[in-house]
């Protein structure tokens, strides 16, 4: 098994270095990092001594060579990832996935540590490492924002309690992920989830927690310290809990004073407020998760349906932009300007169904919440617009933007910027 030719297109300039010899080895005597152009970011040669010459994946290549190559490629990607386009990321992804099959746990664990903090990590290899043995998966599960809620839920259901415990302690645990941990998890992961103040516990999650408390009343004690829970609502659910749970709740003196209830209401209000409107951090995370889904060829209308179902407005918008190969700043500008017409044209170009479009309009993170009249008129405009006409409008807009960009570049040169 050999590295594909595409490996060379990422790393080496074709007209300067031979990529493949008759011996089937990839040989590099003077590695040069290329991203977009000669003038882009360069890495000092001494910093890349490890890349100076290597060969791997031949039938007689040893474990050390393969592991070193795996680490080198991952390290190289970490240097240039911000400059890579989607095709280049896809090429790195393919190479890293192949190498991951050929190295031992220690090598995979090292690469997982390199990829975990990257905002734009290759989607397929990240999922592969996240589903690996816990010593490999841990940094990815703990730190990677490339993993979507669906990715985490799948891992929670399929992997070990150790995997679940790491996910339960993430910096942010969405409600759906927490619910999956309650369903599949044991005492360790459930306890870690309840003790994580950044884990969102919805009504369904709390109801399941009460059921689990029949077996492990420590859960109730852990809940006691959380300020984001509507205790009045919890008290309303106690009727379906067992006598042992009710007695334990009485023992730890659940907060019932008005101050505690007001605190809980304030937290709930803030959560609702955070979901409404554009949030730069939410958009950045969503954008990188959408790109990872694109790496895995998982981005289609069914993805949009799921985003609508769970109210993932930032993901919905990022997916639309990615499916159109549109720079994210343009779509963000539409949201800020409440540009419903632009979103209508974009949705029609994608081939979105009227039902998905209507739901999408309601969950997108607009600057201001659309009124019922806005939604109705936008839906009517969408249904009236022909797809071929939408493509014509979109292509015209892209040409206009390209002309403006060229004009701006010429102006900058003229004034010496």
Q: If 0-12 CB within 10 Å is exposed, 13-18 middle and 19+ buried, where does residue 280 land?
A: exposed
* CA torsion angle 364 368 370 373 (round to 10): -160
366 and 304 housed in the same domain: yes
120 and 194 housed in the same domain: no
Contacts of 311 (CB under 8 A, 6+ apart): 275, 363
250 and 307 housed in the same domain: no
247 and 286 housed in the same domain: no
Q: Is 200 inside any structural domain?
A: yes
What is the C-alpha to C-alpha distance for residues 259 and 269, in angstroms, rounded to an integer?
15
2 and 120 housed in the same domain: yes
212 and 288 housed in the same domain: no
**What is the length of the chain?**
417
307 and 409 housed in the same domain: yes
- Widest CA span of the chain, in angstroms? 80
Confidence label for 74 from pLDDT (cuts 50, 70 and 90): very high
Domain boundary at 254, 275, 296, which? 275
Position 216 scores a pLDDT of 66
Position 179 scores a pLDDT of 93
236 and 308 housed in the same domain: no
Domain boundary at 275, 310, 328, which? 275
User: For the chain, what is the domain count?
Assistant: 3
Position 251 scores a pLDDT of 53
Most confident of 53-57, 153-157, 372-376: 153-157
Q: What is the pLDDT of residues 257-267, one digit of tens each?
A: 444 444 444 44
Q: Is 141 inside any structural domain?
A: no
Q: What is the pLDDT of residues 90-124, one digit of tens each?
A: 999 999 999 999 999 999 999 999 999 999 999 99
Domain boundary at 255, 275, 295, which? 275
164 and 112 housed in the same domain: no
Instruction: Write the DSSP string, 390-408.
Output: HHHHHHHHHHHHHHHHHHH
Q: What is the pLDDT of residues 211-227, one digit of tens each?
A: 776 556 677 677 776 77
Q: What is the pLDDT of residues 119-129, one digit of tens each?
A: 999 999 999 99
363 and 387 housed in the same domain: yes
Looking at the chain, the whole-number percentage of residues with pLDDT higher than 70 is 68
227 and 305 housed in the same domain: no
pTM, whole model, 2 decimals? 0.74
Position 375 scores a pLDDT of 93
51 and 121 housed in the same domain: yes
Domain range for 402 is 280-414
Give the N- to C-terminal CA distance of the chain in Å, as an integer.
50
Average pLDDT of span 37-53: 39
Q: What is the pLDDT of residues 225-272, one digit of tens each?
A: 677 766 666 555 555 545 555 555 555 454 444 444 444 444 444 444
Position 235 scores a pLDDT of 58
Position 244 scores a pLDDT of 53
Closest CA to 267 of 331, 325, 324, 202: 202
């Amino acid at each position: 098994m050999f590295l594909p030719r595409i490996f060379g297109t990422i790393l080496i300039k074709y007209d300067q270095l031979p990529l493949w010899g008759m011996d089937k080895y990839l040989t590099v005597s003077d590695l040069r990092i290329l991203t977009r152009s000669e003038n882009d970011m360069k890495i000092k040669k001494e910093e890349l001594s490890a890349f100076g010459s290597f060969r791997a994946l031949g039938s007689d290549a040893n474990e050390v060579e393969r592991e070193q190559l795996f680490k080198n490629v991952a390290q190289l990607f970490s240097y240039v990832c911000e400059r890579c386009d989607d095709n280049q990321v896809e090429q790195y992804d393919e190479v890293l996935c192949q190498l991951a099959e050929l190295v031992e746990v220690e090598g995979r664990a090292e690469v997982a540590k390199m990829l975990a903090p990257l905002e734009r990590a290759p989607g397929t290899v990240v999922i592969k490492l996240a589903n690996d043995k816990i010593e490999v998966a841990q940094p990815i599960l703990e730190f990677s924002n490339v993993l979507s809620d669906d990715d985490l839920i799948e891992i929670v259901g399929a992997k070990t309690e150790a995997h679940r415990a790491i996910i339960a302690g993430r910096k942010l645990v969405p409600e759906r992920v927490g619910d999956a941990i309650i369903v599949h998890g044991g005492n360790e992961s459930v306890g870690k989830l309840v003790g994580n103040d950044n884990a969102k516990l919805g009504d369904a999650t709390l109801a399941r927690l009460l059921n689990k408390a029949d077996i492990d009343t420590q859960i109730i004690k852990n809940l006691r310290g959380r300020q984001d829970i509507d205790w009045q609502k919890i008290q309303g659910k106690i009727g379906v809990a067992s006598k042992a749970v009710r007695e334990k709740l009485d023992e730890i003196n659940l907060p019932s004073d008005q101050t505690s209830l007001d605190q809980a209401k304030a937290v709930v209000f803030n959560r609702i407020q955070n979901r409404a409107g554009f949030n730069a951090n939410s958009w950045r995370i969503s954008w990188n998760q959408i790109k990872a889904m694109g790496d895995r060829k998982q981005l289609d209308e069914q993805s949009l349906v799921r985003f609508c179902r769970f109210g993932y407005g930032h993901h919905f918008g990022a997916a639309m932009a990615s499916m159109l190969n549109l720079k994210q700043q343009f779509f963000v500008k539409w949201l800020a300007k409440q540009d419903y017409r632009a979103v209508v044209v974009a949705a029609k170009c994608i081939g979105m169904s009227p039902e998905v479009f209507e739901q999408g309009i309601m969950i997108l993170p607009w600057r201001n919440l659309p009124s019922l009249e806005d939604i109705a008129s936008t839906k009517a405009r969408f249904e009236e617009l022909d797809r071929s006409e939408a493509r014509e409008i979109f292509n015209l807009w892209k040409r206009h933007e390209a002309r403006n960009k060229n004009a701006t570049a010429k102006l900058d040169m003229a004034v010496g910027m």
